[in-house]
Amino acid sequence: MNGVEHYENFPVASWLCPAQFRPPIAAIYHFARTADDIADEGNASPAERLTELAAYRDELSAVIQGKNGSNRWPSVYAALGPMLQQWQLPLPLLTDLLSAFEQDIFKTRYADQAELLDYCRRSANPIGRLLLHLYGVQEPEALVQSDCICTALQLVNFWQDLSEDIPRGRIYLPTDMQAKHGVSEAELLSQQLSNNTRALVVDSVNWARELMRQGAPLVKKVPGRAGWELRMVVQGGLRIAERIEQLDFATLQKRPVIGKRDALVMAWRAIWM
């Protein structure tokens, strides 16, 4: 569905995306994708990853100030630098992304929903706000709706990926929600299915769905083809939630996937939004 390779929190750059926005979107995407890889790929130690991300952040600062950096990531910053100037991209949104990637290196548990939402504020919401900046949409209500969509997409990806994240030691299901449903961390780590674990996933998926519905009116505020792109993003998130439900919320053991037939369903529903 996307014209660039997958990045779960970057719902952009399909053929629907207006051509004038593709260079800045691609530059932002590669900036985020590279930072995500530094934080998550390969065999480096946590300390080495944090050091590398600090150097990546320093490179961004150098580009912002018009200085010569280390040239360690030329494909990233050669593309991003001109876009920063041409489009006056809000720099705090880029540094928020780096903050979230840094957090991912050392934080693998979340005490409550508020703590997880703060992570989403930095890991997902900047993407939507950067896109709205490009599209010239800056009304406060639109920004809030964008945040709802991006957070919902982040959350539903978490609930889709439980069977992959938990074996890697990452538990995004907040501790207070676990307690609410009488689920222990040991049950999650052993990927046990029970009425309680299913209820926990049901509650989590419904949380994401509600946020997506709160944000959905934004599709009528984003002009032209970009608005249709956003409709597909919203429907994509809701379709993942639907696929989780069709698995009887058993994503502790199995990851639902979205295929071509799902894309047709999403397109049809997007038309009728």
Q: pLDDT, tens digit, for every residue of 89-117?
A: 999 999 999 999 999 999 999 999 999 99
Confirm whether 77 is domain-assigned.
Answer: yes
Least confident residue range of 65-69, 145-149, 240-244: 65-69
User: Minimal CA–CA distance to 248: which of 193, 210, 211?
Assistant: 193
Do 160 and 93 share a structural domain?
A: no
- In the predicted structure, residue 268 carries a pLDDT above the cut 80: yes
Range of the domain at 232: 108-273
Tell me, what amino acid is at 140?
P
Degrees to nearest 5, angle at CA 192 with 191 and 193: 120
- In the predicted structure, residue 148 carries a pLDDT above the cut 60: yes
Confirm whether 11 is domain-assigned.
Answer: no
Instruction: Tell me what percent of the residues of the chain surpass a pLDDT of 70.
Output: 95
Do 114 and 152 share a structural domain?
A: yes
Confirm whether 7 is domain-assigned.
Answer: no
Cα–Cα dist 188/168, whole Å? 12
Q: Helix H segments across the chain?
A: 22-40, 46-64, 74-87, 91-106, 113-123, 125-135, 140-160, 162-165, 175-180, 185-189, 195-215, 224-246, 260-271
- In the predicted structure, residue 12 carries a pLDDT above the cut 70: no
> Mean of the per-residue pLDDT values for the chain?
93
Banded model confidence at residue 2, pLDDT cuts 50, 70, 90:
very low
Among 74, 106, 138, residue at a domain's last position: 106
Q: What pLDDT shows up at residue 71?
A: 85
- In the predicted structure, residue 7 carries a pLDDT above the cut 70: no
Domain CATH code at residue 246: 1.10.600.10
Q: What pLDDT shows up at residue 198?
A: 98
Do 194 and 74 share a structural domain?
A: no
Residues contacting residue 126 through CB under 8 Å, at least 6 positions apart: 93, 94, 96, 97
Confirm whether 251 is domain-assigned.
Answer: yes
Confirm whether 173 is domain-assigned.
Answer: yes
Cα–Cα dist 185/66, whole Å? 48
Do 187 and 143 share a structural domain?
A: yes
Average pLDDT over residues 157-179: 97
